[in-house]
């Protein structure tokens, strides 16, 4: 029995060391790594990102999260002419090619793209752009200084062409990145979540 406990503790120790090494490597590459608990506090347009992902691109569920503010229209619209901030254009550009895409473009600046490998699959968020984000209770908008993000320790990375950004990833989930692009004075110019191919 004692040997089994020692073996179990050894395996657990190895697993924790590997996880710590992955976090360290991601940090060295310029990623801001946050825990699952912090990552799950992320909101776009005051809606939890976990709730957006849980819709799997279902139109009715997205309407429930982002209600259309047009009293005459009870469902989503495909008209780009509406002035309400939550009016939405819904497109399925993959219908012609057989790809399963669904894009939601809201007039408030929110754009969400869902993708699935096959018809009938649950769609997953692969791209999202927003004018604002909340991370661990701190709300940021385009034009805000990144220094307002006081709830996490972030890393500003310098990219090509002198662009700067903060790449936030969930610990253990390095294929998805949330990028806060910055200008030369560290003010947010773009908020973009995407799947790294």
pLDDT tens for 88-101 read 888 887 666 777 88
What pTM, to 2 d.p., does this model score?
0.77
pLDDT for res 157: 93
Q: 171-195 burial, b if ≥16 CB within 10 A, otherwise e?
A: beebebbbbbbbeeeeebeebbbee
In this structure, are residues 20 and 10 in contact, taking their beta carbons and an 8 Å threshold? Answer: no
Domain ranges, ordered by start, for the chain: 33-195
pLDDT for res 17: 44
**pLDDT mean across residues, the chain:** 81
In this structure, are residues 184 and 164 in contact, taking their beta carbons and an 8 Å threshold? Answer: yes
Longest CA pairwise span in the chain (Å)? 71
pLDDT for res 93: 74
pLDDT at 11 over 60: no
Sign of CA dihedral 13, 15, 16, 18: positive
pLDDT at 1 over 70: no
């Amino acid at each position: 029995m004692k040997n089994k406990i020692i073996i179990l503790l050894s395996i657990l120790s190895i697993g924790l060391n590997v996880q710590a090494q992955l976090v360290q490597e991601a940090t060295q590459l310029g990623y801001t790594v946050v825990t699952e608990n912090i990552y799950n506090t992320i909101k776009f347009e005051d809606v939890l990102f976990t709730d957006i992902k849980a819709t799997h691109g279902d139109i009715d569920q997205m309407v429930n999260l982002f209600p259309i503010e047009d009293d005459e229209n009870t469902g989503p619209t495909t008209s780009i002419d509406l002035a309400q901030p939550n009016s939405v254009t819904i497109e399925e550009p993959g219908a012609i090619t057989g790809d399963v895409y669904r894009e939601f473009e809201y007039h408030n600046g929110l754009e969400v793209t869902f993708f699935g490998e096959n018809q009938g699959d649950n769609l997953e968020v692969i791209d999202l752009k927003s004018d604002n984000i909340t991370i661990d209770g701190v709300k940021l908008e385009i034009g805000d200084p990144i220094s307002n993000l006081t709830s996490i320790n972030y890393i500003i990375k310098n990219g090509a062409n002198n662009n700067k950004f903060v790449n936030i990833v969930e610990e253990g989930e390095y294929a998805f990145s949330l990028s806060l692009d910055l200008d030369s004075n560290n003010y947010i110019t773009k908020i973009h979540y995407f799947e790294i191919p």
